[in-house]
Structure 1
């Protein structure tokens, strides 16, 4: 693998970390921060004055806002390409999608929900990309606050118009989301919460792989800092029936391009659960992936046993004892005719 940023091969240390993350192993943030590729990326980050503090930004903010307001709901063409060119309905529906950065919220849930309910996607990350200082992500930190202001302005405008909204958030701050939902309910909206779950290590591995392949960088601590906070937010909100009209939980630990796995949903989200049900092709692809992972694990164990005869003998003895205790002893083969 080649590092997009430098054009150099990825270090052995980085390859080892990526393999551990892919296996779901916990890799300390400090260890990741010492990797050569991460140190190089951090040296490129913009560390200037936050753009929200600069003078004469009104014209730039208005320009970004107006460009975003021209977008419609998500539409998927026959080739699978998604564009924001669809109708936006005014049915006062808000779908909040929470999950870790780099967990695949947009393709897994945000875009399909927007397409299904003809809703406007309001995402501060999209506002960031249109600000000049964003610089392909290297200035994401200094445009963070300003992009939030623009997204907040979009959100308020959509509420005034009664538009359907799909609202991706990380979800680490339950109190903040609760306040938003309470305010929206007062305006007659129905509210649904959807959790795009992905293991912290898998999300971190995806983020680093994406950086190495495309040059798009997110600081690792933006993935690691949330802990179990997002899951706690979901569990809290789904039980607030006076605020939330429906909920669904999905696991996005699936092959690239496949739909997320449905974990649970309320009856009011049954139409969404049905629409996002994996196709037969996707189910077969997932089964093939699971088989490859299992085969790799078996090969790894066999390699260890071959290198350690005493351990191998102990394993065979315990395996035979287990089989006998479960009545799984081999039956004699019938004689050949």
Structure 2
């Protein structure tokens, strides 16, 4: 048995390799649970008493030799790897650049435009109550206009719902602050609609609100004129009479896109005009609901769908592309 250990010591001393797999096999062979050292230790009880001391010393010598060999091989391998990593003459690996989502790109651009004329950003919860989402906005219970927005209600509490517009943020802000106020409320909204190339049950809105003394419809028109010129580079707009429960008078805003290409004809249906948002003067009943004196203050509000603006800016025909996380589409926005 002592001679076998001597042979093993010679084998350990002669072993050399830079291959990780070979080094691991060497470790398992000698130091593994079923390795040579444990096998020899299991035979220790069969060694005559007079040889046990020498036998034990030899086993320790073998064990230390294996550990020293493994440590030496580990250091040599690590040094080689570090040298390879620090070799500045080797070609590098390019790092992939990330990109912002097109919805965020458009949202940030809109916020930037309105911030330049004094609008601040306000936020609110996506799970709303009936008061802030409907009633305070001049949509009392059983009001027929509620049917305009198919709503996701919370089953366990019928007073709670997923907000259908970010106008609820404006109500919360007006409850907590007094005029003058000039805010934007961007965010995600939810409506129980069929998903198609033009509509989705989840989308993003950005709404604006300005309340102060002597605010007029002319102020609203001038603000929208400035916005369309900055965002689209197009200054020709028109306002068509419309209806929203929380504004009076109300209007739809169209921007003249032009008819310079086949795409222009397609997206404007041959008219050259594109609808981009709704707007109007804040209804005095809404101001009364949030304890703002409608005789002293007036204001305007506007709102638009961010997906709709993004589809116009990037000439995209299917709203579902914004929600599919297709890298082929997202990579097109790396330079933006």
Is the TM-score greater than 0.5?
A: no
TM-score after normalising by structure 1: 0.22
Higher helix share: 1
Instruction: Considering Cα pairs closer than 8 Å and 6+ residues apart, tell me whether 1 or 2 has the greater RCO.
Output: 1
Q: TM-score, normalised by structure 2?
A: 0.22
Q: Which has the larger strand fraction?
A: 2
